[in-house]
Structures are given as C-alpha cells and as structure tokens.
Chain A
C-alpha cells in the first residue's frame, strides 16, 4: 500500500474543505437551526409525541442523516469530478497508486467532512432539544458507516458525471426524495399500510431507522436488517468502483 499517496490525497481534499470553513460549517448549522425552529418549535409544538418521544427530539437523527447523506455524496462526487473537470486527473492515473488507494484518499476525506458536519448538527441539536443517546456506540457505528457508504456512492456519481448538471442530478432527483420519504421527519408506522410497504423499498428507511434506534431504542425495522442494508449498500458501491477502475469506465481512455 502506498500510504503516503493516500495521506496526500486525504490532506489535499481536507485542505479544500478548510479553505471554505465558514461555508462548510455555518451552512449546515444554520439550516439545521432553521429545521428545529420550523419543525421542532413552530409545527412540532402542535404535534403529539411520536412513539413516546417529543417531536423535536424525534427528528434529530433524521436531520443528521439528511445532512450526512447529502454532504457525503456532494463532497465525494465533487472531490473526484473536479480533477476530471480541470484535467488534473492525469496525475492520479499516472501515479504509482491503485484504485483502493485513490478511493481511500477521496472517500476517506469526504466521509470525514460529512462526519464533522454530522457531529456539528448533533451539537447544535443539544441547544434546541433535550435528547439522550441510548446506544452511543451504535450511533457512532451507524454514523460512520453512512458517511463511508454514501461517500462511496458519491464517488461513483463523480466519475459518472459528465458535467456539473449531472453532478447535481442524482442527489437532487433521487437522494433528496429518498431521504425525505425515508422517515427523516416521521415514523414509518404513521403511514397508511400500503405506503408502509412501499417505504420498505427505500434503502434510506433502514439507515434512519437504525440511527434513530441508537438514539431512542425504537426502530421501524429490526436493527440487524438496518445493518445488513448498509453493509450491502457499501459492498455494492465497492463492487461498482472496482469495476470502474478495472475497465477504466469514464476515467481512463
């Protein structure tokens, strides 16, 4: 393993993040605060408790997941797309590194950035609602796995994208609806039976459910199913990336 190369890519990507530190941190904190004000205080005050949890606290795991998933995808996709766009990708292709090292560098940095933001949102949440974390270890496990798996997915999008419009297409048209309909702001059990069945085809449901379980000990789907879902998604993304580098699809002529 060329660990120096992995570290170089990682540090280079993190430097990009810290160059725009205000935008990186203030934006998620502000948007999360707005969610708490609107859903937690304004609308939430008129909503009964959900599964014995105040609505303000109930939406915290969903809000964290919403930001973590979108940040993971956007950071990772931009991270690999930008070198393609400006042409510096030739350096990666001509360097003595393999695809595992490239992925570790880019996905590692994207996942770290998303993790930072997830932690920032959690800390912000403490200012607005009273929450306790029932299973802190599993909370960290779910958070880290989500950051990694969606950064892998973002990496694939970054390689696939041929322009900036395509870069935004999948997050905007697929991921955002899936996250919103994945139980970020409600419990699946609150839906009519037919929509409950349909929701189980949404992979994000398993992530949010598992993550919410780590906070409150209550979940829409069994915890093992959530873990298997996220592990399966990670494995699928890794397989696709392996295929991309093996064939050179959209990256090597």
Chain B
C-alpha cells in the first residue's frame, strides 16, 4: 500500500521555548490503523493538530495524499477528518445541522443521502433532530465522528476517541473504526488505552517528549519485544528453587507451587527443553504447564523506561 501521510522532520516549538515536537518523521500507509501511544504531554495531540492545520509547525513538512499541507492545503485538508479529544459541539444545534455544517465547510455540496448513511452507521439517525445538549456523552462522541466523516475523508484522525467512555461504548467505537477501515479509510488514533491499540491497530507508534521512539507493526513489535513466560505448576510447593535449577531466568511464585521461567522468543534456543529435563532430574513432579506473553502495556512501559534512562 502507498503512503497516504508523509511527515518529515516535523517540529513545533512554542514561544516560551518548549519543544512539543522534535523532528518527527512518520509515514502512514493507506488503509491502515496506526495507534500513537504516549504519556500525557508526549506530543500526540500536537502532532495531530499540526498535520490538520490547527497548529503551525516551526519546521518540517507534511503531505497528505501527496499534497503539501501548507502549499496545497485545500487538497490536503479535504482528505482529512478530525475527531478531537474534547467534546467540542454547539449545545443548541441539532445533530443534522451540525453534521451538514461540517460537510459544507469542506466544500462538499449538500447530500442528505450520504449524511443519512453516516448517521445510521453511528446509530444517530433517530437523534438527527435532537439538540446536542440533549445527548449523552457517548452520543456526543458519535456526533463528533459523524462531523469528521461528513465530507467523506480518506484519512481520519481520532484523538483519544474513547477517553472517559464506558466499556460498552468503547467496544462500539472499535467496531466503528473497524468498519471505517473496511471502507478504506486510513485511521490514526491516539490513545492512553494500550488494550485499545492492541485490539484494533495494525501498527503502533510510541511518542514521548516530542520524539517518535518507534513505529512498528503491532504483531512484530509484540513478538520482538514481548517476553514469554513458562509457568511450571508443581504437585507440591517447594521452599526454594533447587540448586541445580538456579538461574536469573527462573523464579518461584510466592506460594512455592509454580516455577516461572522467562525466555526470549527470538533466541535460537529458548532453554525450555533443558529446563523441563532439569526439573524432572531434580525430582519435581508437574501438574501443568502454561505460557503467557507480555502485553503491549508492558512493552510500552519498558520503552518509556529505556527512553528516560
């Protein structure tokens, strides 16, 4: 797939000297879902705002669909939809009016059939004549998405779309995002929820202190950086790891009933076979074996620790 968003050495420094973006370079493929992870103040929202034209960059370039966001801003912005982090809506407007307004702003002629399709997709059609103030928080978030989709963008930025929403609505949002991806929309979302990125993203970008620490395919990232653990459940608890088994990779659970072996999936030899034979040689009897993999959250925390070091 070709790159639909090309960000090159993007910089943003504020008047007080604070550098929110320190030369971010990022390419986003058409049709993918990229999740940008990072702690508060990492630069996620600044990055999105700069690409969308809300914030002025102090250096670097951004192209969307091959169009420069400064010199060819009409074509570039026309391809972008933005769902902001905050629920920014005029309270006295009707749902249909505000969505229609958004479509018009992007120079698209009135098309009620297209808007009906979007509103139905987002379960908002029945609420089209309701004032925004009468809607629940979840519905308001849907309205924001409807407004961002009103001009049929090819690239959609979702800035923490599920912040503060309940689990059910979060799952609904994931379904909506999956549906948009199926329609060929490229999605870039920022999130604090690692499980969200793990559940829906194709690639993960980690940003901290205005720098992009990495961008990688989610599965490859988890395979590369994820540690696996083998849990060896014993029939009888033991007080300590037998001397013949002692190693940095092996620990004993608090209740003494499980040996926990941490290994690297990328290594040529994981050491599992040797471990199991050593366990048998030590006279320990097993009841069960279990493996588990590091979550994206653990990988994310590790990355930030490395960056801080």
Which residues of A are interface residues toward B (Cβ below 8 A)? 2, 4-5, 7-9, 11-12, 15-16, 19, 82-83, 86-88, 90-97, 248, 252-253
B86 touches A2 (CB 8 A): no
Within 8 A of A (CB), among B99-153: 100-109, 147
Contact with B97, one of A4, A12, A87, A92 (Cβ below 8 angstroms) = A12
Beyond A5-B107, A12-B97, A253-B14, 18 additional contacts (C-beta under 8 Å) are: A4-B107, A8-B101, A19-B92, A82-B90, A86-B90, A87-B86, A88-B89, A90-B54, A90-B82, A90-B88, A93-B52, A94-B77, A96-B73, A96-B106, A248-B56, A252-B56, A253-B49, A253-B56
B90 touches A94 (CB 8 A): no
- Closest-by-CB residue of A relative to B102 is A91
The 23 sampled A-B contact pairs (Cβ below 8 Å) are: A4-B104, A4-B109, A7-B104, A8-B103, A8-B104, A9-B104, A12-B97, A19-B92, A86-B88, A88-B88, A90-B88, A92-B105, A93-B53, A94-B53, A94-B77, A94-B80, A94-B82, A96-B73, A96-B74, A96-B75, A248-B56, A253-B49, A253-B55
- Closest-by-CB residue of A relative to B77 is A96
Within 8 A of A (CB), among B217-259: none
Q: Which residue among B53, B105, B109 has the maximum number of chain A CB atoms within 10 Å of its CB?
A: B105
* Distance of A19 Cα from B131 Cα, bound (Å): 12
Q: Which residues of A contact B59 (CB under 8 A)?
A: none
Give chain B's interface residue range (CB within 8 Å of chain A): 20 to 34
Beyond A2-B107, A8-B104, whether A93 also contacts B88 by CB under 8 A is no
A79 to B: closest C-beta gap in Å: 12
A-B residue pair count with CB separations less than 8 angstroms: 78
Chain A interface helix/strand/loop/mixed: helix
* Distance of A129 Cα from B270 Cα, bound (Å): 100
Beyond A9-B105, A15-B97, whether A94 also contacts B147 by CB under 8 A is no
Contact digits for B26-56, partner A, Cβ 8 Å, 1 yes 0 no: 0000000000000000000000010011111
Q: Which residue among B55, B78, B88, B89 has the maximum number of chain A CB atoms within 10 Å of its CB?
A: B88
Whether, in the assembled complex, B23 has its beta carbon less than 8 Å from a beta carbon of chain A, the answer is no
A8 touches B105 (CB 8 A): yes
Q: Which residues of B contact A7 (CB under 8 A)?
A: 104
B63 to A: closest C-beta gap in Å: 15
A16 to B: closest C-beta gap in Å: 8
A50 to B: closest C-beta gap in Å: 45
Q: Which residue among A2, A11, A94, A97 has the maximum number of chain B CB atoms within 10 Å of its CB?
A: A94
A2 touches B84 (CB 8 A): no
Q: Which residues of B contact A91 (CB under 8 A)?
A: 102, 105, 147
* Distance of A2 Cα from B76 Cα, bound (Å): 15
* Distance of A96 Cα from B76 Cα, bound (Å): 8
Q: Which residues of B contact A9 (CB under 8 A)?
A: 101, 104-105
